[in-house]
Amino acid sequence: MAEPPGAPGTDPGVSAAESIAVLRDSESCRLLQPVRFGGRAASRSASVVSGFIAAVADLAERDGSGGWFAAAVNTSAYRVASLGDAAAERVWGADTGALVAACEEPAGLLTAEAGQFRLTGRWESVTGALCADWLLLSALDGDSVRCVLLPRDTVRVDQQAGLRGLDAAGIGDVAVSDALVDTQAVFASPDDSSCATGEFDDAGPPYGILAGVARTAAVVGAASGVWQAHVGQVRRRLATSYGSEDTTELTASAVLVAKAESDIDAARLQLVAALSADAAGAATALRQAVTRARNAADQLLSSGSRHALDATDPVARLWLDVLAGYRLTIRRIGGDLNAG
């Protein structure tokens, strides 16, 4: 599962809507959706989880938005499956191709009313919200955190203005105002010990840790894509320069490329370590990994001042994905990793 079947590459001429449509139809969005409900996940074994993380990084090397989107919708499916058959049936019972977007931050408030609930809240930067069929939102019910499963047409999704990078990841802010919610759409938030329940018999990593690792894998993968694109451009330039390139610049470039590659490799190792760590250990590993990836991409972009900040340069395009993913990941790291 190291290569997502049907996963697309990236074409600067393709719109964000077209890119998302291609991703929706690919199996890269079904890697953690249970087999019984039309997905590819037969278990939550270590090999399945590590294969998913590798697939996210591989996709992000070619398309940062695609990797970020796949990370989000797959971990959202993982979250739904952990809630049990009722939640899974609600999402995929009528349509196994349905996608769900989740936000683990309890940014809403549930209040009981005549055997039902009222929900009000605003959840920012929810990946996939612009195109998902279902939203799984965390909200406070007194002192408890609940998961609320809502159809897309019952919420308002606002596209974020001014976001550069991850253009085709469907990122939006979700708002709900005093919506009436059936009790069957409200689920107890699973804690770390409940990850073996639900659709699968075997335990997997807690959702919060898996979601953090998947997001970081997308950033690390995109940084690796920056490295590959940069090295490819340097090789093509050397092939046509006929030895006229400055030797000092070539030496400095070789050192920078080697350091960036080392940082990206180290970040990949920290992804593996985070999967088996507790919440605090995972947060530390992921913070270090995503920072290494961002620094490597920054160094490659600034090398020789040859990369223009536009979508025609794959180095610049992937660097923008790295930067946007870095900011979102750092914002989520910490409390979110404690989510079950």
- Residue 305 within any structural domain of the chain: yes
Q: Residue 5's pLDDT is what?
A: 42
Q: DSSP letter string over 231-258?
A: HHHHHHHHHHHTT-S-HHHHHHHHHHHH
Do residues 127 and 249 both lie within one domain?
no
Lowest mean pLDDT among 31-45, 68-82, 172-186, 200-214: 200-214
- Rounded CA separation 264/249 (Å): 22
Domain of residue 228, CATH code:
1.20.140.10
Please give the full DSSP string across 125-185, using - where no structure is assigned. EETTTTT-SEEEEEEEETTEEEEEEEEGGGSEEEEPTT--S-TTS--EEEEEEEEEE-GGG
User: 181 and 125 in one domain?
Assistant: yes
The rounded distance, in Å, linking the Cα atoms of 319 and 2 is 23
Structure tokens at 171: 């990122």
Question: Is 251 inside a domain boundary?
Answer: yes
Say if residue 35 is in the same domain as residue 70: yes
pLDDT above 90 covers what percent of the chain? Answer: 71
- Domain termination site, one of 52, 76, 92: 92
| pLDDT above 90 for 334 | no
Asked whether residue 268 falls in the same domain as residue 240, the answer is yes
Residue 55 within any structural domain of the chain = yes
Predicted pLDDT at 323: 97
Residue 36 located in a structural domain = yes
Residue pair 130/157 in contact (Cβ under 8 Å)? The answer is yes
Burial 209-235 (b: 16+ CB within 10 A, else e): bbbbbbbbbbbbbbbbbbbbbbbebbe
Are 115 and 84 in the same domain? no
- Regarding whether 29 and 81 lie in a shared domain, the answer is yes
Note whether 139 and 36 are same-domain residues.
Answer: no
Indicate the pLDDT class of residue 193, thresholds 50, 70 and 90.
very low
Residue type at position 195: C
Range of the domain at 62: 16-92
52-62 pLDDT, tens per residue? Answer: 999 999 999 99
In a shared domain, residues 272 and 225: yes
Q: DSSP states of 60-115 as a string?
A: HHH-HHHHHHHHHHHHHHHHHHHT-HHHHHHHHSS-TT--EEEEEEEEEEEEEETT
Residues 236 and 179 occupy one common structural domain: no
Output the pLDDT for position 271: 97
The predicted pLDDT at position 201 comes to 53
SS3 content of the chain, % helix, strand, coil (to 5): 55, 20, 30
Asked if residue 201 is part of any domain, the answer here is no
Same domain, 322 and 255: yes
Cα–Cα–Cα angle for 227, 261, 287, nearest 5°?
95
The DSSP call for residue 213 is: H
Kindly state whether residue 41 falls inside one of the protein's structural domains. Answer: yes
Question: Of 191, 225, 243, which closes a domain?
Answer: 191
- Give mean pLDDT, residues 125-141: 97
How much is the pTM? 0.89
Please report whether residue 199 resides in a domain.
no
Count of all residues that appear for the chain in the document:
340
Count the domains in the chain.
3
156-184: pLDDT as tens digits: 999 987 778 999 999 999 999 999 999 99
Contacts of 213 (CB under 8 A, 6+ apart): 53, 205, 271, 274, 275, 282, 286
User: Do 121 and 175 fall within a single domain?
Assistant: yes
pLDDT in tens, 84-129: 999 999 999 999 999 999 999 999 999 998 889 999 999 999 999 9
Which domain-ending residue is among 58, 76, 92?
92
CATH code for position 158: 2.40.110.10
Please state the φ and ψ torsions of residue 193, each to the nearest 5 degrees. Answer: -80, -10
Q: Could you tell me the maximum CA-CA distance found in the chain, to the nearest angstrom?
A: 80
Task: Indicate the helix (H) or strand (E) that contains 329.
Answer: helix 314-332
Asked if 232 and 274 sit in the same domain, the reply is yes
Q: Is 60 exceeded by the pLDDT of residue 257?
A: yes
Domain membership of residue 7 (yes or no) is: no
260 close to 292: Cβ distance less than 8 angstroms: no
Which pLDDT tens digit goes with each residue over 263-317? 999 999 999 999 999 999 999 999 999 999 999 999 999 875 555 566 678 999 9
